[in-house]
Amino acid sequence: MISGRCHLVLGGLVVGAVIAGLAACGAGSDDAFPSASNVDAGTDAKPEGGGGTGGEAGPIEHTLTSILVDPTNLLIELDLGAVSSQKYTAQGRFLDGTTEDVTDQVTWKHTNAEVGIFSGASLDFLPMATAGAKTTRISAELDGIKGEAQLTVVAYRMTGPKTDFFFVLPHLDPLGEQNKPLEFGTDVRSLDVFFAMDTTGSMLGEINNLQAALINQVILPVQQQIADTQFGAGAYEDFPVDNYGAPQGSDCGKGGGVFPDQPLKLFSTITADVNAVQNAVNQFDTGIGPIG
């Protein structure tokens, strides 16, 4: 029989997720709505200040130049089996600089039939039985002019006794933080946990929290889940490289200002003796003064 032990180093955890989309624009231009100042007034237009030989400029034609589809980039989260729809609008820009709502005049299409079916300007989603994500490209076309948009539909268990852990964190999300429960299990039977603590001066509060909560809030709850768990402890600071770090510092708080900062100071090897680990963590010092 082959046995093994999982090794876990706790330091910091940053979770992030970022979703970027595609925005739509009118055909033949990078701008969804080109400026009216760029429209050619025609050969009969008189130059400013007079002197022209032609007649007065005729009216600019009311010709469609681009279509803006709204929303242009959308992510929708649905519960499994949920029935829902998304309403779209189309705004047309014309050669004479005017805009009109052309929602009911355009032809609506999209590229992924598994997402749903258009009913007028409303995309009716097909219920999804299993968790997953699907994307489709929305188009609105009129008189040979097309506007486009991007849509992503994500389905997962949002309700019920067990929910799926899924969330989206776009850059600078105006809705702010999202909090969702995460339930998970493990088949790990043996575990080594090493507490690697930054002991530079800004970490006083974090060191104090770990020292106070180590046994009752960290070690014992972990051992309740995985009985064969052992622990170790160490510290690190700004190890000097070139002109960075302290060539004479606190040696993770224990050098009396003689030794340089260290990449790792070992206070306790992996052990089943939780009191030894607590004593090791209590030695953590920022160099400003021990707080253990």
Q: Which amino acid appears at position 85 of this protein?
A: S
Q: How far is residue 145's CA from residue 209's CA, in Å, rounded to a whole number?
A: 62
Q: How far is residue 220's CA from residue 209's CA, in Å, rounded to a whole number?
A: 16
* Sole residue written with tokens 């339930």: 183
Please tell me the predicted confidence (pLDDT) of residue 7: 52
Q: Which CATH architecture has domain 61-156?
A: Sandwich (2.60)
Tokens standing for 78?
Answer: 């649905």
From 5-9, 14-18, 133-137, the region with the lowest mean pLDDT: 14-18
CA 122 to chain centre: 28
Q: Report the predicted TM-score, pTM, of the whole model to 2 decimal places.
A: 0.47
Q: Write out the CATH class of domain 190-282.
A: alpha beta
Q: What is the pLDDT of residues 80-118, one digit of tens each?
A: 999 999 999 999 999 999 999 999 999 999 999 999 999
Q: What is the pLDDT of residues 237-271, one digit of tens each?
A: 876 666 656 555 544 545 445 556 677 889 999 99
Please tell me the predicted confidence (pLDDT) of residue 185: 74
- Asked if the model's pLDDT at residue 25 lies above 70, the reply is no
Q: How far is residue 289's CA from residue 204's CA, in Å, rounded to a whole number?
A: 10
Angle at 19 between CA 17 and CA 89, to 5 degrees: 145
- Asked if the model's pLDDT at residue 33 lies above 80, the reply is no
Q: What is the pLDDT of residues 179-233, one digit of tens each?
A: 777 777 778 889 999 999 988 778 888 999 999 999 999 999 999 989 999 999 9
Which sequence spans correspond to the domains of the chain?
61-156, 190-282
Across the chain, what does the average pLDDT equal?
A: 78
The percentage of residues in the chain with a pLDDT greater than 90, rounded to a whole number, is 51
Q: Which amino acid appears at position 34 of this protein?
A: P
Please tell me the predicted confidence (pLDDT) of residue 291: 38
- Residue of 14 and 79 predicted with greater confidence: 79
